[in-house]
Amino acid sequence: MILMQGKGVSAGVVSGPLYFFRRSQSEVTRYTVKDTEAERARFSRAQEQSVSQLKMLAEQCRAESGDDAAMLFDTHAMFVEDEDYVDSVLTTLEEEHCNAEYAVQQAGEQFAAMFAAMDDAYMQAREADIRDVTRRILNNLTGNVDGGIDSDVPVILAADDLAPSETLQLDKSKILGFITQKGSGNSHTAILARTLGIPAICGLGDALKASYEGRTAYIDGESGKVCLEADALTLQSFQSKQRGQQQQKELMETMKGQEDVTLDGRKIRLYCNIGSPEDVTAVLANDARGIGLFRSEFLYLAASDYPSEEEQFEAYKSVAAAMKEQPVIIRTLDIGADKQVDYFHLQKEENPAMGVRAIRISLNRPEVFRTQLRAIYRASAYGRVAIMFPMITSVWEVKECRRACKSVMLELSKEGIPYNPETEIGIMIETPASVFMAPELAKQVDFFSVGTNDLTQYTLACDRQCNDLGKFYDPHHPAVLRALKMAADAAHEAGIWIGICGELAADLSMLPTFLAIGIDELSVSPAAVLPLRAAIRKSTAGECTLKMLED
């Protein structure tokens, strides 16, 4: 028996024969050319061919998995035509009088190395995208076609790494799951695997050997465990988990249409967090009763320039209309810290988590704020929209936000543009300051929503981006839970509701504590809705205690 440990990036337990991905390899040889213009023309044709292929892949992916997954290939198409990337290729052609294949390979290596050297994990994961794009252009220059699976039975696909385009083009009827030596949970491949529902494990390193081909393997995409030729006890464990997952899936289906209410009648609002309009499909499929956090910053992060009022309006309107009369809480722009947008030209900060971010950017840039508020208020005519302001620490900030809202409503009224003047306004509780000021803040707004990720970071003085802090970053810490209780008490004293939209909301072990604290709403990822509903329906709110606040 052989055991390997990697990082689980897409849940599920499957078993089957290992099959190593066949990728055509074209060794690039440098040679001198006399006709540089002819090489430029060859490169240009390969570019056009690559963009055309990627657009076709995007459409295929959009049909199979939605716009989120298709965006991967739209991004690759942009890489192919990226000005800096293209300039690098053309400069090498001109200066070295070399063949196009060599110039493309050099540019690919240069940009891949640049992304790999970045501090941000998301940007590091773009290295694989650059290599995928470069390989596609090289294949179109040489006429090579990447291989795939030559097997009559479904397999667990193994590889050094898998590019998104490779994953999509595989015959999924033959794929049970995949495991890779490299990769990370932030890679587009991992995202795509989760979207497609394919169990996946990455980061197995040299433990994953090509000599294992054909051997029977069990993989657990949740724990990251891989087992080859399991002994009886290990086999029993994997099979038991497989059965449990299937039973859990069937049980969760019975939760659809059920009320989110405890055994003693306490109702909980069970909403979803989303990052784009395309996520609404998953919200509805998992029977959530609203959207508790629409991260509007995705519009800014995905754009090369400030998104217009019309672009934002169409995005917000589509979500509001799709959710009909169910609430849609749109959080205003929340960038800065770990979410940087180049065209905002934010100054480099020694401690960005404490710097110019979220509502501070909006209040410092009133025109950007005004554009977003106009788009949100216009969308409020098409559904039950609410506005939520992030990173609030003071009453004056809320008053400034309300002043901006009032100004926008007056503008829209003068222009004869419909909107809902009763649109609710809430704030995120993310800092000790907002907790201490909660009694005063609660008088200014219609609801609170606790961002437990940042509240934990600021309460415990632990950088949430620092992996080395480990057990020190603890959202279960009594200080965090006491802060949550203080905010809840202040909200209820003022007659408003309070929810949680941070990752802690989906922690089933915390549900009794949330019920004891008096939390009214939980906003989680779509996949977490039905398990949480099942747990709520088994709970008795009156029997829950605040014991965790005392440990």
Catalytic residues: 188, 501
The edge-to-edge listing of strands for the beta sheet with 13-20 is 2-5, 225-228, 216-220, 13-20, 155-159, 175-180, 200-202, 7-10
Give residue 329's Cα distance to chain centre: 18
Q: Which helix (H) or strand (E) holds 220?
A: strand 216-220
Question: What is the C-alpha separation between 245 and 234, in angstroms, rounded?
Answer: 17
**Cβ-based burial of 499 (10 A; exposed 0-12, middle 13-18, buried ≥19):** buried
Q: How far apart are CA 317 and CA 320, in angstroms?
A: 5
From residue 265, alpha-carbon distances to 156, 326, 517 in Å are 47, 21, 16
**114: CB partners within 8 A, 6+ apart:** none
Task: Give Cα separations from 155 to 174, 229, 233, 472 (angstroms).
Answer: 6, 15, 23, 41
What are the distances in angstroms from CA 241 to CA 12, 74, 195, 224, 286? Answer: 9, 37, 22, 14, 22
**Tokens linked to 74:** 């739209």
E strand intervals along 390-529: 424-429, 447-450, 497-500, 521-524
Distance CA 348, CA 337 (A): 10
Distances (CA, A) of 268 to 253, 325, 446, 531: 19, 18, 17, 14
Which residues lie across from 83 on neighbouring strands? Answer: none
